[in-house]
Amino acid sequence: MKRFIEHEELARDRRFIRQQNVAADLLATLPDDVDAVVELFEKVGPVIEAGTRGTAAEPLYDRFGPAFTLMTLNEPIRPGDPGTEDRLKMRMHGIFVGELQALEGAGRSLWDFPEAPWEFKMNMARQCWDEARHVQIFEKLLDHVGGEVGMYAESTFLFEAACADDPALRVAGVNRALEGLACDVFRDNIEYAKQTDDALMEQSMDYVLADELTHVRFGSEWVAEFCKDDPERLAKAREFRRETDRRFNFGGARSADKDAAIQIAWEDRKFAGFTDEELEDLAQLSGEGPSRKTMKKAIEILVARFQEEHGIPSEAQS
């Protein structure tokens, strides 16, 4: 079996539609400037549009244009808010494919590094077992919120961003950045489930979060072990994790700001081996780039322009 596969080689059945994720990568590099955000989204509009064709997101694109991705990603999921139902389905679908990629990431980490210690392989095998269970849980949760597998396009940017050729960097990217993001998202969803008295969602998310904390801890421990006599490698692993985290901030959607769509799960992450210093750094990192205010203004402009161009009455924005 081949080692180090490319994301295009990930196997999917015919239910899945693959999407190029240009926006998330580019967002990570943008300044806090309304015009820059507007310009970027107008430029990548056709790619975003292509990713919606034949999916449940098509009507959202037709109504709001390329900004619909920002409207779904950058707004918190709150009970009763307009668009919450779509946002929830998209999030559950995104987590479902994220779990699939986490399973693939852990499987690759087990296979790609034959020289790694036996305990490392056992940890990765344990993670595969957990992620396989998570895939099943989220398939059911997706159904629970009225969605279905393949209703939205899948972007493999989690797998792309986190898979490095050095095992220290791999676990820094997959286990600390990707799994850390999962902790932030699950903690947020547990709060939503509490507000909506959804015991099924609350409990399943809580079970999954407990596993994710273990996976982050695998990352914290193995980065330290692989790099124990090599400060240069440790610095590289740290930088790789920061780079990956920068991409996962989604233009400030996940940050320490109190009005961010997804907060950093500070206490959970500490429990999983993040230090206060690393968390302060993550908070600062996620605060870079466009602010929520900037994103809101950019969304307003993008939606107004799209609707004017396509003769859509602006009341449709509600």
Could you tell me the smallest distance in angstroms from the CB atom of residue 182 to Fe ion? 6
Instruction: Between 61 and 186, name the residue whose CB sits nearer to Fe ion.
Output: 186
Could you tell me the smallest distance in angstroms from the CB atom of residue 144 to Fe ion? 17
Determine the Cα–Cα distance for residues 284 and 168; give it in Å rounded to an integer: 24
b/e 198-216 (16+ beta carbons within 10 angstroms → b): beebbebbeebbebbbebb
Could you tell me the smallest distance in angstroms from the CB atom of residue 211 to Fe ion? 6
| 62 Cβ contact partners less than 8 Å away, ≥ 6 residues apart | none
Instruction: Between 108 and 134, name the residue whose CB sits nearer to Fe ion.
Output: 134
Cβ atoms of 300 and 41 closer than 8 Å: no
| 22 Cβ contact partners less than 8 Å away, ≥ 6 residues apart | 44, 47, 48
Instruction: Between 104 and 131, name the residue whose CB sits nearer to Fe ion.
Output: 131
**Residue 263: which H helix or E strand, with range?**
strand 262-263
Instruction: Between 96 and 306, name the residue whose CB sits nearer to Fe ion.
Output: 96
Could you tell me the smallest distance in angstroms from the CB atom of residue 161 to Fe ion? 15
Determine the Cα–Cα distance for residues 241 and 92; give it in Å rounded to an integer: 25
Instruction: Between 99 and 202, name the residue whose CB sits nearer to Fe ion.
Output: 99
Instruction: Between 44 and 106, name the residue whose CB sits nearer to Fe ion.
Output: 106
Could you tell me the smallest distance in angstroms from the CB atom of residue 100 to Fe ion? 10
69-77, 85-93, 128-136, 289-297 -> range binding Fe ion (CB under 5 A): 128-136
Instruction: Between 131 and 202, name the residue whose CB sits nearer to Fe ion.
Output: 131
Could you tell me the smallest distance in angstroms from the CB atom of residue 169 to Fe ion? 18
Could you tell me the smallest distance in angstroms from the CB atom of residue 193 to Fe ion? 17
22-30, 157-165, 208-216, 240-248 -> range binding Fe ion (CB under 5 A): 208-216
The HSE-up count of residue 61 (CA atoms within 13 Å, CB side) is: 20
Q: Say how many residues touch Fe ion, by CB under 5 A.
A: 7
Positions in 66-125 near Fe ion (CB under 5 A): 99, 102
Instruction: Between 211 and 278, name the residue whose CB sits nearer to Fe ion.
Output: 211
Binding to Fe ion by residue 179, rule CB under 5 A?
yes
Q: For residue 28, with 0-12 CB atoms within 10 Å meaning exposed, 13-18 middle and 19 or more buried, which class applies?
A: buried
In the shown chain, the binding pattern of residues 131 to 170 toward Fe ion, with x for contact by CB under 5 A and - for none, equals x--x------------------------------------
* Terminal CA-CA length for the chain: 51
| 123 Cβ contact partners less than 8 Å away, ≥ 6 residues apart | 218, 222
Residue 54 region by backbone torsions, left for phi larger than 0, else alpha for psi between -120 and 50, else beta: left
Determine the Cα–Cα distance for residues 22 and 186; give it in Å rounded to an integer: 25
Token pair 């081996």 is found at 273
49-57, 179-187, 219-227, 229-237 -> range binding Fe ion (CB under 5 A): 179-187
Given the rule CB under 5 A, which residues bind Fe ion?
99, 102, 131, 134, 179, 212, 215
